[in-house]
Structure 1
Amino acid sequence: MDEKFHLFLKDHHVLNLTTCKDNQPYACSCFYAFDLKNASFVIASDSKTRHMQDALANPLVAGTVTLETKTVGLIQGMQFTGHLNEASKAHKRLYYATYPFALAMLPELWTVRIDYAKLTDNRLGFGKKLEFKRN
């Protein structure tokens, strides 16, 4: 994954996650920790929530991370698709290192392995897009 993805993602902390079960889409927002080496997000969410019930039934997910701005020249955002799985021990450590306060709550942690991502960054030129595809 290109370093520009990392530079964008390190400046943000919330992703919008979309799930789908029985042709019924659903969306939520989650704090994330990002693993550049493995092109993965780590999120916390209770398995009883609707979005997690959907993702456990259909682990194919999609989402976005965006910079909220009205200045066209500063628009940045990433769209992604991936697979959701239970977080590994290494990913749990990454999440708790990113959000130490979460240790007090011991949330259920999940990994979203990014399969495809598109980053739009108008600071690099109007409509400039970078893509990532997992091999």
Structure 2
Amino acid sequence: MNENIIKFISQQTCATVSCVDATNKPYSFSCFYAFNEKEGLLYYKSSLETKHSQIILEHPFVAGTILPDKLNKIRIRGLQFEGEVLPVTHPDAKNAADIYYHTHPLAMAIGGEVWTIKVNSIKYTDSSLGFGKKVGWRREVKELV
């Protein structure tokens, strides 16, 4: 993953995530996240009873955005991502709670589950790299032999 993308995601705290229900109606929610740069994973916390959690349990593919915590109208930065929310039993979700609570320790006092988004692609925009400059990243797909 590009170092500019890693730095940007690591410096922010909140994402907007969108999912689509069985009737193709979109639904979005905002969440605090933690980032596992080595594995390209985002972690967030939410209750199983929320509308978005119920949708994601049935349709785990999501898309989202991360904007700077402090917006600057002169320096345009932000990213769009696509990914899949992993089941809690997935090996990549094993350390989700530890990593999330390390970043957000006060969240331990709030009910809910820590969820894992396996990010599959990113488009990052940063005008400080050049007007309209975009940097992309796509997860490598390993072929089964």
TM-score (norm 2): 0.87
Question: Does 2:102 correspond to 1:97?
Answer: yes
Aligned partners of 1:47 and 1:53 also within 8 Å: yes
Q: Distance in 2 between matches of 1:80 and 1:33?
A: 15
Other-structure match for 2:136: 131
Question: Does 2:57 correspond to 1:56?
Answer: yes
Secondary structure of 1:96's counterpart equals helix
Other-structure match for 1:69: 72
Sequence identity, in percent? 37
CA deviations on 1:79-124 (whole Å, 9 max, x unpaired) are 0000002452312111010011112225301001101110001011
Aligned partners of 2:33 and 2:44 also within 8 Å: yes
Q: CA RMSD in A?
A: 1.2
Q: Distance in 2 between matches of 1:129 and 1:115?
A: 17
Secondary structure of 2:38's counterpart equals coil
Other-structure match for 1:112: 117
Secondary structure of 1:9's counterpart equals helix
Q: Which amino acid aligns with 2:116?
A: T
Other-structure match for 1:47: 48
Other-structure match for 2:30: 29
Aligned partners of 1:86 and 1:109 also within 8 Å: no
Question: Does 2:18 correspond to 1:18?
Answer: yes
Other-structure match for 1:6: 6
Q: Which amino acid aligns with 2:73?
A: K
TM-score (norm 1): 0.93
Q: Which amino acid aligns with 1:30?
A: C
CA deviations on 1:27-58 (whole Å, 9 max, x unpaired) are 01000000001111000011111111111110
Secondary structure of 1:47's counterpart equals coil
Q: Distance in 2 between matches of 1:69 and 1:24?
A: 32
Aligned partners of 1:14 and 1:31 also within 8 Å: yes
Pick closer, same or farther for the CA change 1:106–1:93 going to 2, 3 Å.
farther
Q: Distance in 2 between matches of 1:89 and 1:40?
A: 12
If each structure's strand is expressed as a fraction of its own residues, which one has the higher value?
1
